[in-house]
Amino acid sequence: MKAGIIGCGFIGGEIAQFLDSNNNFELIGLNDVDEGKAGELIKNIKNNNPKSMNINELIKKSDLIIESATKNIIKDILSNEGLDEKNKKLLIMSTGGLISGLDLLKNIKNCEILLPSGAIAGLDAIKAVSGKIKSLTLTTTKPVKGLEGAPYIIKNNIDLASIKGRKTIFEGNLKDAVEGFPQNINVAATLFLASKFDNIKIKIIADPDTRFNTHEIEAEGDFGTIKAITQNLPSKNPKTSYLAVLSAVQAIKNIESTIKIGN
């Protein structure tokens, strides 16, 4: 299966190394707004011979397109005329970009869309009770370094360095969370897509004393209560949990697996 990666940061680089070591895939193309990043990653690929490509060429030539860039690129990918073809698959990491592109997502009829569970646990259970949920909350706690540069932090002049102890810095809905924390809250978008519940309550806590990215999910309904807590160590990118990388790799492994576990 020919694969191409859009976004050559930490996650893209880790996925590229996995694909390069797997005989079931041929890594043929890389794309990044910073061509230098694509070039550097190409130098580290040993078994394949990927080329730096524009998005149109990468989508046209790839059977598996992997997005690991930013939510701002999602609409361009979904609306690309070369995407919606049989036997093509698109794996999306920046699920926050789907919230403003749901109409485009619904128009995809042939290309298979893969959304890894990312940095959270419990999505299988949430999917199973979709349509029966009466309340759903997501509480995310992060080290202050992982929140630096978020639009919400900048807009509200929040001095992260002055925070002592756990402090709630955001409470609101999904749309505002995705806009305010685009690199931190893909988990909320994925939770929405799994639950189809419109009124998710989201809380974001800054904690200078923790080294974990912690996500707590609680769903209630006639089925009972579902609680899931995931404590993730950050990757080399403090805004990204290492579990998100492992989740993406597992989603790719599942493509070729004859045994499917979970929903």
Q: Which of 222, 28, 238 is closest to 119 using CA atoms?
A: 238
* 4 bridge partner residues: 29, 65
In the residue annotation, 215 being an active-site residue is answered as yes
Check 37, 88, 215, 239 and give the catalytic one.
215
Catalytic residue annotation: 215
